[in-house]
Amino acid sequence: LAGQHVREIILQPGESFERKIDLTKYYNLRPGQTYRVTGYFFPDARHNIFLRSRDSVELHINSEKSKYVFQKPELQQEEDGLSPEETVYLFLSAEMRRNWKNYLKYLDLPRYITSYDRFSGRYASASPADRAIILQEFSRYLTSDPTDQLRRFRILTTKRSEVSDRAEVTVEALRMSGGYRVAYEYTYTLERARQEGFWKIIHVVARVL
**Residue 149 pLDDT exceeds 60:** yes
pTM value? Answer: 0.63
How many Cα atoms sit within 13 Å of 112 on the Cβ side?
22
Q: Which residue has the higher pLDDT, 98 or 16?
A: 98
Q: What amino acid is encoded at 118 in this protein?
A: R
126 vs 116: CA distance, rounded Å? 15
CATH of domain 84-208: 3.10.450.50
The per-residue pLDDT for range 13-33, each reduced to its tens digit, is 777 777 777 777 777 888 877
The per-residue pLDDT for range 71-93, each reduced to its tens digit, is 455 555 555 678 999 999 999 99
- Report the pLDDT value the prediction gives residue 1, as an integer from 0 to 100: 45
User: Strands, E, within the chain: which ranges?
Assistant: 34-41, 51-60, 148-160, 166-177, 180-192, 199-208
| Lowest mean per-residue pLDDT among 40-44, 109-113, 128-132, 182-186 | 40-44
35 vs 29: CA distance, rounded Å? 8
Please name the residues in contact with 122: beta carbons below 8 A apart, sequence gap of 6 or more. 134
Average pLDDT over residues 153-165: 86
Say if residues 12 and 19 touch (Cβ distance below 8 Å).
Answer: no
- Report the pLDDT value the prediction gives residue 170, as an integer from 0 to 100: 97
- Report the pLDDT value the prediction gives residue 179, as an integer from 0 to 100: 77
125 vs 131: CA distance, rounded Å? 9
Q: How far is CA 175 from CA 7, 150, 172, 180, 190, in A?
A: 30, 4, 10, 8, 23
Domain residue ranges in the chain: 84-208
Characterize the bridge pairing of strands 34-41 and 199-208.
Answer: unpaired
Average pLDDT over residues 1-19: 67
